[in-house]
Structure 1
């Protein structure tokens, strides 16, 4: 008898764990998904609307940090209890995930849903939650969907309710959003998918190239360096600006591969043309990620003979976003012999203390302040202040987006060291230096493939201007070891290596 009782008790416990959340005692996500499928079928059969609601605790991460996970569990239990007390009998409620609860509202149209959502928000904000370590205030956001009109199955309903919840969390507090099909969102996702496909195709087929825009001495107008800007070949083979792909590449994580490609192209250009001095942008993702940034520095370590002719840029907003990592980034590059520039300077809020800590060589003034400068008194004052501040720290300045002789002369008078813009030359695929002709560039070191950002400062050139692929000398690129497969491109190897890294991370 005892064995049978023990087995029965164990079976009951396993059944509970399979269907219920052990912390709150509510049904779990798996059981809720089954109930949601049943509700959608019933709603379709009966012609009566249901609603599916996901309520998320906004500040649970703050509670975790401030009090610890035990107190956060107390908050989850208390919020779950409050919600359960105001849910109608017969409406299923579940702990959906860590800080989220899911509710099915039977016989509920959109007007009734708004009333129910306000009731759920009210029970969370009506009073503090007393815990062992003191009172805690819980704040909710709610995403919901009306069924069966906007979802034919549980997975779709949950995904779209999550989407509405994400939008609700962007609101200041107590956000509530009902899912509505958005043609704009569908279009954006379609564009993202096409752009991702185009990025991967360009990487596999070596269709990314560099264009070069001159940066001149403000006093003499002599070219002192060029900024390397990313270009890609479109379906017709024409070279076009690739800047529109970069935000999507950053969102999808592909910018690391693009970064690596641009670094290799830039280094190979410097190896092939000893007269070249180049500057290029590194993405904030690469610059502040020690693992990926290490890939970039390996390339530079293998070719330290070119680093004195190389300037690496990072935008001011990225620099301020993670100051400690940015300081490490700048010090590492300077130790390798590179110069470091802060791009779009003036767009953020760099303090004197931060500027000193960053230890950079060049400040590139945000082009929006330098364009039409002769006609804008406010920008004149602001640019003068930025140049004076840089001079106090003995940092050189580059004024971008210089389009007119009047602006150029005004910037000279203010004391800018260098000027960049269409007035002095648009970005061009033509190689602006004579070839060396004394042998091939040495191979780049073949470490695990990664990236370092495209030189993508499109600020100084006319957007969406196509450039014809003129006949030109292509600089030799760093090559791989002899035992690499000859029929695979360097970038295909990079993508394979990245995929392998992701697989190892999952394992």
Structure 2
């Protein structure tokens, strides 16, 4: 429809219809307002640099509205009238194409269409002597045919090349170490993880070498910090000059550079390390403070043989580098399992000593993480989580110390301290409700139930606000003892929770006999339910089982609203996860 100028006094035309306006009696007619002109849709699109398209997937025809050459430049001069022709222009740099977003969609059209939005590149016509890509943002909605699968798509295409290039530049800066120009550690970790997966498929090993610049402290003291930075930057350049183009280099830490060499075995890794050691020592580094001599030590590990995660490989490379530093003669050390065992023994002794001193010096603390009601997001109670403060003031989480504490027989002492701290907090705040964890060692301690009863006798009104969490795997280690402990706690008025529900395959009979008050579904089954059909099935099955037993349900590791909405629909009672609050002291 198009608005046209008034044709008669008191009359206007909209489309093909005329509307006569009644005369205003006794009032002089004002001058008619200037006509309103509605610009043509193509004029609007051209002015904002956008194109509208309709793609008939049955015939593969694409109809465009807008000026293609004006919006896409030379790319608009070539054939873009079919899905095949358009798809041929999609750049290999693109993460996803329109075809993949629509035809390979996991969704079905329920009547309102399925929305999509993506950014991809379109190759400039090389046949016209033009290279590079035009980057576009494609926003639209596809509609299904009788079978619900895509039959028609319509959307808007907008050129975003400048924005894309700016974002790519920002991403590059986020991945690059500013001093050396090498990758930073986090980005190398991502690439290393992909290399591990590829090597497991191809059966081709690779090497991870960790190069440590020696005596950086003395270098900074003698020549100044600027000279130290210049030596590190010069070391990066010299290492790059002596590696293959396919090798990856990254600044791992202040004085450490990591090198990943694809398709490299143990013998080749040793050869590389010795060559680098020699080339660094061969001549000093030029700095503003003068020529500065430097030496390096190197630790290396072969992947994926000695580690199937980037974290494990870096840890083993650090152990190998430590061994090279401790040697009076060898400047290179390759990782071996025996080296790891020796390192782990020393590390375990160090951790055990830190735990004992933390207990003696009252450096065991609590961090409280909220467990919120699903219906309104308000905190219902909190989980009291262990934190150990080291002598230097830093905090250590349970994952890094509990395995050592269990082997050293210290976990019961930690459990006891956590419980005492929790009871003190609840006594001080009559509104506070807390849950604490009890390890298998604590459950098997015959004196623990009586000690708990005496502690609660001294703190009236606390028992009904306390929840004890027992992991499912701990429970099935000794069903009979766990049953007695649960019964003792219930007699005291304490609520009992099964933690990590779903991880230990508890039988239905045992679960019913224990008389728990609530279950906490293992977060491993929760964090990916939006994307994993298997996880959705398993989490929903666990929820249904808990409902059947009339148990309240806590879902762990709830990290976004989409996950929360799905769990809320299934009837989960409580949520725990970073989305609703992190653990705080």
Scaled by the length of structure 2, what TM-score is found? Answer: 0.42
Scaled by the length of structure 1, what TM-score is found? Answer: 0.48
Query: Is the helix fraction higher in 1 or 2?
Result: 1
Say which one has the larger Rg. 2
Query: Is the strand fraction higher in 1 or 2?
Result: 2
